[in-house]
Amino acid sequence: MIKTKVKASRNYTVITGRRLIGRTGKLIEEIRPFAKKILIVSESRVAPHYLARVKASCEKSGFEVYDYVFEAGERSKNINTIAGMWGAMAKAGFTRTDLIVALGGGVCGDMAGFAAATFLRGIDFIQIPTSLLAMVDASIGGKTGIDLAEGKNQVGAFWQPSLVIEDISCLDTLPEGVFIEGMAEVIKYAFIMDLPLYNLLCENTLGSLRSDPLLLEKVVGMCVKDKAHVIENDEHDNGIRQTLNYGHTVGHVIEKNNNFRLPHGICVAKGMGIMIDACERNSTLSYEDASNMKDLIKAYGLPVSDEITPEQAVAGAMNDKKKRGSILSVILVNKIGHSQIKNMTHKEYLEFLK
């Protein structure tokens, strides 16, 4: 088991290990002994596997437990689902010492976190991510929110969880495609800040990661440590945290152009591939690093290209919520394990991608 401390506006621990779900009640009791009621928020694809176990564990610890299960998928990430959570808590008489548990992937954590940030002006929430992507990225760092018709994550709040419980055993049953999608975010950490992780991923394969629980725990733990370091230094996304968006600016446009039918991780991998090519073309990345990086993405079953044109990529990025005024922060990797934030105008970004 690996325990990683995150120091932010609220300090918390990320526990990464196996068979943790059945200990949820005890783990919550340890950090919030005065809580009485818990709302477990989960999604339709995850609840049948884990909701009963988490519920039983919380009840065994003496909590009064309620649940709210929404239809899995990005389409549920809206204000109506949040209103359902607010209503469930208001009806059950939740007070400020009660809390929410998010049991599921990134969409679930983002929404449960937003409901926690806003109900009674803020109550605690615990993340129990069940996908690789949520374990290594979305569940840590307190980005919460919902989508608007105009774009993803347009409304939200920074609201840190009080505890993150990462049960690696949940990944045993994760469909191959969903696991591979999560690998895009793992590879992202390797490229932007973690050469030892890059080397470890090069020495291993998708098969070895999936069949060796200790190796998987180690890899997830390395990503958690990377994310914790980033959050500690820039919780509110004004500096180093933006490097976590490597491949995402193009990736988000690809996602939108495909009406969100392509999974997020696949689009991020494509976005990273496009940025690698652009850096190589602009002579900021060596041919050797560029081909090694693309080989690694492909080795883990992910794509490195897309039909998107530079004009489309730039037009889409101009609606990006990370844009500041007319300037876009573009994340570059010019050497494996190191990233750089480069501010570009619309014209400069287009020239860079062409």
User: Does residue number 344 form part of the binding site for ligand GLY (CB under 6 A)?
Assistant: no
**Secondary structure of residue 90 in the 3-state scheme:** helix
**Per-position x/- string for 137-156, each x denoting binding to ligand GLY as judged by CB under 6 A, each - no binding:** x---x-x-------------
Residue closer to ligand GLY, measured from CB, 141 or 182: 141
d(C-alpha 351, C-alpha 150), whole Å: 27
Among 244, 250, 296, 314, which residue sits at the site for ligand GLY (rule: CB under 6 A)? 244
Among 55, 241, 252, 264, which residue sits at the site for ligand GLY (rule: CB under 6 A)? 241
Minimum CB–partner distance for residue 118 and ligand GLY (Å):
19
**Secondary structure of residue 350 in the 3-state scheme:** helix
> For residue 18, how many other CB atoms are within 10 A of its CB?
17
- On the CB side of 170, CA atoms within 13 Å amount to 30
The site for ligand GLY, by CB under 6 A, has a size of: 6
Residue closer to ligand GLY, measured from CB, 64 or 237: 237
Q: Which two tokens stand for residue 225?
A: 């440590």
Residue closer to ligand GLY, measured from CB, 17 or 145: 145
Q: Which two tokens stand for residue 180?
A: 């591979």
Q: How far is CA 137 from the centre of its chain?
A: 3
**Per-position x/- string for 33-52, each x denoting binding to ligand GLY as judged by CB under 6 A, each - no binding:** --------------------
DSSP 205-268: -HHHHHH-HHHHHHHHHHHHHHHHHHHHH-TTSSSGGGGGGTTHHHHHHHHHHTTT-S-HHHHH
Residue closer to ligand GLY, measured from CB, 137 or 289: 137
Q: How far is CA 225 from the centre of its chain?
A: 14
Question: What is the four-CA torsion angle of 98, 102, 103, 105, rounded to 10 degrees?
Answer: 180
Residue closer to ligand GLY, measured from CB, 63 or 189: 189
Pairing of β 151-158 and β 143-148: antiparallel
Q: 44 — alpha (psi -120 to 50), left (phi > 0) or beta?
A: alpha
Minimum CB–partner distance for residue 234 and ligand GLY (Å):
9
- Residues from 221 through 240 that contact ligand GLY (CB under 6 A): 237
Minimum CB–partner distance for residue 127 and ligand GLY (Å):
12
Q: Which stretch binds ligand GLY (CB under 6 A): 53-61, 97-105, 136-144, 258-266?
A: 136-144
Minimum CB–partner distance for residue 235 and ligand GLY (Å):
10
Residue closer to ligand GLY, measured from CB, 23 or 188: 188
List contacts with ligand GLY (CB under 6 A): 137, 141, 143, 237, 241, 244
